[in-house]
Structure 1
Amino acid sequence: MTLSRSSAGSLVLLVLFLALWQWGPGLLGMPEFVLPNLTRVAQEAVAMWQTGNLLEHTLITTLEIIVGFALGALLGIVIGVALGLSPAAEAMLSPYILALQIAPKVAFAPLFVMWLGYTVYPKILIAILIVFFPVMINVLSAIRTVDPDMINLVRALSATRWQLFRLVEFPSAMSALFSGLRIASTLAVIGVTVGELVGGNKGLGFLLVDAEGQGNTAGVFVTIVALTVIGVLAYAAVVWAEKRVLHYLPKANLATA
């Protein structure tokens, strides 16, 4: 019942937002080049789809996001586990990892373009850099906070180091891992878009810059909506995987009286 009310509330808000987008600009007297209404944006989306530009660039951006997310998440898991199991390694490497995280990722994009040219690789590298940190820090924290009683119990049963990691430490980190993956799934979209904005000749980021250069505000909105849809689908895919993998965890009872 609560879920149905939440879904209905979300649907009402969506309809209200779309209605405001359709009639709000006209009521406020905004010209089309400032804020086109929903119908004009939909017409532009159809035109861009028919020419093939929207589909082609969307597929390229989606591929870059998937590859960057997968590689960044894998790197974050590996390094997070390694640092979690080795306090000495964490103390030695954490300042450099933190410095890499603090450095603005936009600043790396021109450098990667100079090294690798106008290809998909600079965008994927930016996505890897952005995805890596939230996954790594979540896994690291989870490995460090495993229940010591459970570790002692498994050790008392003469478990090997690999068995201890496989049966206790890594399963205990799965929930935190997926929390990091949720954040990373949206950041991957941002990373790829930044790369395409700075040095791209393909992808939705390039399409956005091209539309902006032509003064095509409706085209800019079409691109933004496409990127938003990709981000929502990426987040939903992580949530779906989380439910399949962590189905054994008890669910919190959020119902209120």
Structure 2
Amino acid sequence: MDTATSITPAMSTPAKAAPLLSEKTRTVLGSLLVLAIFLAAWEWGPGALGMPEFILPRFSRVLQESLFMWKNSDLLGHFGITAMEVVIGFALGSLLGLAVGVALGLSPRAEAMLSPYILALQIAPKVAFAPLFVMWLGYTIYPKIIVAVLIVFFPVMINVLSAIRTVDPDMVNLVRTLNASRWQIFCLVEFRSAMPALFSGLRIASTLAVIGVTVGELVGGNQGLGFLLVDGEGQGNTAAVFVAICALTLTGIVTYGAVVWAERRVLHYLPKAATSTK
């Protein structure tokens, strides 16, 4: 007696092949590809569009000018001066914003009294203060640092203030039931809760510090990248202006990167959802 049997071969699901490149590597390669496309467009785009050199110099021309300025115009020295002013202005403005933000966050009455004046200081254009600082302090590094401090101060202060005000009251009450002192409550709960917001403000401030220093150097500077920018503009040297702009951009990128690096180290022990860095 024949019995028709249907034999179904066992099908095994093949294991999913591991990606050749990690997600981080693909991201880096994609970013480098975008940079390569941008530089290629900068190099050959002006010529293809018939754009003269004094309007938009080629990338290779800017590189040549940067080497010339490195050897003959002390580009490295001017870069170091601007970087020093950015670091000092960023540090002082951040510390001042942190102190005022904490003080106002812990004292609603003080915030109500001082907030109109702080807001007025923020609304007033910082460019208008730069010539005044130059008249007071001369052609030194101090006017540039003060302008940077004024610009950096507000974003740090407002972020810290908002974070202090939005601390979970249940956490404060919990620590208070353990007989914690006022200082311990601040250190263990309020300040730790404000750290993600603090670093968010520092990220913004790191880019604004470069703007503040540049404004000061444009208005009344005899050294620094802002001075080189004005000097190149006065000579009609567009390539030199681009060199100064690229150097200022590099300064801002390094400053921002330092803040991100510090954020990852300091907020390493906080939950991922509480940090602004993934």
TM-score interval for Structure 1 and Structure 2 normalised by the shorter chain: over 0.9
Structure 2 counterpart of 1:213, from 220, 230, 234: 234
Instruction: Write the mapping of 1:130-209 to structure 2, written as runs, cut at 5 A.
Output: 130-209=151-230
The answer on 1:73 being equivalent to 2:94 is yes
2:50 aligns with: 29
Give deviations 1:85-144, integer Å, cap 9, x for gaps.
000000000000001001100000000001101100000000000000000000000000
- In 1: Cα distance, 2:75 partner to 2:271 partner: 43
Amino acid at match of 1:163: Q
Gaps of 5+ in 2: 1-21, 274-278
Give deviations 1:57-82, integer Å, cap 9, x for gaps.
10110010000000000000000000
The answer on 1:237 being equivalent to 2:255 is no
Instruction: Write the mapping of 1:34-113 to structure 2, written as runs, cut at 5 A.
Output: 34-113=55-134
Q: Answer with 1 or 2: which has the greater Rg.
A: 2
Higher helix proportion: 1
TM-score (norm 2): 0.89
2:246 aligns with: 225
- Name the SS of the counterpart of 2:269 in structure 1: coil
- Name the SS of the counterpart of 1:247 in structure 2: helix
Residue 2 of structure 1 and its aligned partner are, at CA, apart by 2.7
Residue 232 of structure 1 and its aligned partner are, at CA, apart by 0.3
2:148 aligns with: 127
1:255 aligns with: none
Residue 251 of structure 1 and its aligned partner are, at CA, apart by 2.4
Q: Where does structure 1 differ by over 3 angstroms across 4 or more consecutive aligned residues?
A: none
Residue 250 of structure 1 and its aligned partner are, at CA, apart by 2.5
- In 2: Cα distance, 1:117 partner to 1:52 partner: 23
Give deviations 1:140-159, integer Å, cap 9, x for gaps.
00000111100000111111
- In 2: Cα distance, 1:251 partner to 1:171 partner: 14
Residue 169 of structure 1 and its aligned partner are, at CA, apart by 0.5
- Name the SS of the counterpart of 2:88 in structure 1: helix
Report the identity percentage.
75
- Name the SS of the counterpart of 2:268 in structure 1: coil
Amino acid at match of 1:79: V
Residue 197 of structure 1 and its aligned partner are, at CA, apart by 0.3
The answer on 1:14 being equivalent to 2:57 is no
- In 1: Cα distance, 2:195 partner to 2:45 partner: 45
2:9 aligns with: none
- In 2: Cα distance, 1:242 partner to 1:107 partner: 33
TM-score (norm 1): 0.97
Residue 52 of structure 1 and its aligned partner are, at CA, apart by 4.7
Amino acid at match of 1:111: L
Amino acid at match of 1:62: A
- In 2: Cα distance, 1:4 partner to 1:206 partner: 39
2:11 aligns with: none
- Name the SS of the counterpart of 1:246 in structure 2: helix
Gaps of 5+ in 1: 253-257
- In 2: Cα distance, 1:34 partner to 1:41 partner: 12
Residue 216 of structure 1 and its aligned partner are, at CA, apart by 0.4
- In 2: Cα distance, 1:123 partner to 1:34 partner: 29
Residue 53 of structure 1 and its aligned partner are, at CA, apart by 1.9
